[in-house]
Amino acid sequence: MCGICGFWDTGFGSTAQHLQAMNQTLLHRGPDGGGQQLFTLAQGQLGLGHRRLSIIELSALGHQPMAFEHYWVSFNGELYNHAELRQELEGLGHRFKSHSDTEVLLQAYARWGIGALERFTGMFAFALYDAQQQSLLLARDRAGVKPLFYYAHEGLLLFGSELKALLAHPQFKKHIHSGALEAYLQLGYVPAPYTIWQHAHKLPAGHYLQLQLPKTEGQPQPYWDISTAYNRPVLKLSYAEALEQTEARLQKAFNYRMVADVPVGIFLSGGYDSSTVAALLQKQSGRPLKTFTIGVPDLGLNEAPQAEAIARHLNTDHLTAYCTEAEALNLIRQLPYYYDEPFGDSSALPTMLVSRMARQQVTVALSADGGDELFAGYNRYRYVLRLGRSLQQTPQGLRRLLAALLRSRALRHLPLLSSHPHYHHRLHKLQQLVEDPSARAFMWRLCSQYSDAELQKLLQQPAGLPPTLFNSHRLNNAHDTLGYMLSLDYKTYLCDDILQKVDRATMHVSLEGREPFLDHHLAEWVACLPQSFKYHKGQSKRLLKDINQRYLPPALMNQPKKGFAVPLARWLQNELKNELCQALGAQLPPQLNAAGVAAELNAFFKGHNERAHRIWYLFMFSKWHETWA
């Protein structure tokens, strides 16, 4: 796990000092060493930078940028199947100097070219220069566990693991992408391929960008897409067969993520996903595995007792850290630096806190993200499968009448109900869903914050939402409604929110985060299982829960899930009120409309707590703007 950066400059305006400055911004990602290589070519300058966090091959033989023949690479991530690939390559006559997976990557590319990507099992983002072919390859893993950003403008290509590395180059031009800002205000994150900056992009998950120099711009190409698996025929097997085979595939995927030359631990909450990871790994371990939980009792946010009970049952070496509300609040000021584009997921706070605790004990920590997207764990799936299906079967004329009723003044001011803090927000959402009950519209309405009219009032110059997978028809061929929703979440919310959150939270303390549920072989298998094996008669995660209960008693697991829901409304109306009013008043970014923001704030302070996430998104954008723009 590391940080990478670099440039291709056809204008010869870049220097070794510029590369060093870019590399230095990634010090937190790789404190164990740094390297850089500058090539002066006839048509431009190529720079490769690297910051190292030593996980596999701790010696100097793992130093990067690494060369093999006429290939050079700067690589961030892990190839979990590097031992198998090494054995195959050795059978073909290859010889190795180290047991580094980076060397395996280089020789695999030398043997198979771009086809090597399909052989890799792992998480990765890398830049590979072929001096003989004069080409540059940027590639990202299938799920998007590892980030990769690039900027292409006026003959200059910059790339890096974080946007801050690109901004360190003096030729980066800071122009905010208006459409990306609108998408952020709706979703709380900027969806790929966009970033908050014009001319800067996220390389989409499962894509590569190959440039024949001197070109600096090109079209990313896909090499893997989860939707392909959802469009395959449904597997014909019994539930009992699926149970056995799924557990075996989980075990294999989880075991892969334990390969390291440094200590490895597991983030353990009270939920099914992380406890399944811990249970399957502990049963094969000869010693207690290290597990970690965090709690903030004075916020009433405390999964620690349940996690501790799970750890005792599994006999793990468990550590609980209790933090105070003050510690969580103080961390808010650091969010804009580490999440260096606007990011509105407040669960970044507990993720950073638990990462700091884990880093004191281990260098690698396994998370359990992806379980909801594979096994149908989110409530929105139930809403669509129940309410959406019912509305789709309702005659259109009757739906129009119902929508008119939901818009009526009488219903908006209904006694008792209208005083509920979330009543108006949910009423408006329901009206929109009645008007268009398609799965695509449902998913957008349930994931977004504003109507088009509301959003326009917040912006000085509304540009309109850019094309995203939410308004695309490309996913509509999934063989069932649940498959469509799962593939959409896998490619949007999981990749652009959750995995970005975990990457920055872990790497800010030089901790490698691994995602065992995101093995692509496992994802392809689960995608082809019958819908009823994942969601059945209102029960989510059916298959995963049944596997879990082979190792943990149902009475222990069937507890109300507490989660770590940050009390945004209370914080913003009390502890953070002065800072919030300053950020959305005197320090309001010029892209926002003062009158629209003031109206939103006024409604919030009058008790419309359902707007807390909206206000948080605005607050985080203002704090990011103050830090970076």
SS (H, E, C) 380-406: HHHHHHHHHHHHHCCCHHHHHHHHHHH
pLDDT of residue 375: 97
Phi and psi (nearest 5°) for 309? Answer: -65, -40
Looking at the chain, the whole-number percentage of residues with pLDDT higher than 90 is 77
Nearest alpha carbon to residue 365 among 429, 294, 442: 294
Nearest alpha carbon to residue 46 among 213, 218, 202: 213
Give the model confidence (pLDDT) of 524-571 as tens digits. Answer: 999 999 999 999 988 899 999 999 999 999 989 987 665 567 889 999
pLDDT at 415 over 70: no
Confidence of residue 509 (pLDDT cuts 50, 70, 90): very high
Q: What is the mean pLDDT of the chain?
A: 92
Give the model confidence (pLDDT) of 141-150 as tens digits. Answer: 999 999 999 9
pLDDT at 12 over 70: yes
Question: Where are the alpha helices (H) located in 79-189, listed in sequence order?
Answer: 82-91, 101-112, 163-167, 178-187
Confidence of residue 399 (pLDDT cuts 50, 70, 90): confident
pLDDT at 28 over 70: yes
Give the integer Cα–Cα distance in Å for 23 and 5: 6
Confidence of residue 64 (pLDDT cuts 50, 70, 90): very high
Element containing residue 318 per DSSP (H, E):
strand 317-322
Give the integer Cα–Cα distance in Å for 375 and 498: 16
Nearest alpha carbon to residue 550 among 370, 337, 314, 374: 314
Give the integer Cα–Cα distance in Å for 270 and 252: 23
Give the model confidence (pLDDT) of 116-136 as tens digits. Answer: 999 999 999 999 999 999 999
pLDDT at 420 over 80: no
pLDDT of residue 60: 78
Contact 149, 167 (CB under 8 A): no
pLDDT at 323 over 90: no
pLDDT at 599 over 90: yes
Handedness of CA 67, 70, 74, 79 (dihedral sign): negative
Confidence of residue 396 (pLDDT cuts 50, 70, 90): confident
Give the model confidence (pLDDT) of 350-379 as tens digits. Answer: 899 999 999 999 999 999 999 999 999 999
Going by DSSP bridges, is the β-strand pair 149-153/135-140 parallel, antiparallel, or unpaired?
A: unpaired
Going by DSSP bridges, is the β-strand pair 317-322/66-68 parallel, antiparallel, or unpaired?
A: unpaired
Which residues have CB under 8 Å from 393's CB, separation 6+?
none
pLDDT of residue 282: 96
Name the β-bridge partners of 292: 267, 319
> 310-319, 361-370, 476-485: which has the minimum mean pLDDT?
476-485
Helix (H, G, I), strand (E, B) or coil at 440: helix
Q: Which amino acid is at 246?
A: T
Give the integer Cα–Cα distance in Å for 260 and 363: 9
Which residues have CB under 8 Å from 255's CB, separation 6+?
281, 284
Confidence of residue 412 (pLDDT cuts 50, 70, 90): low
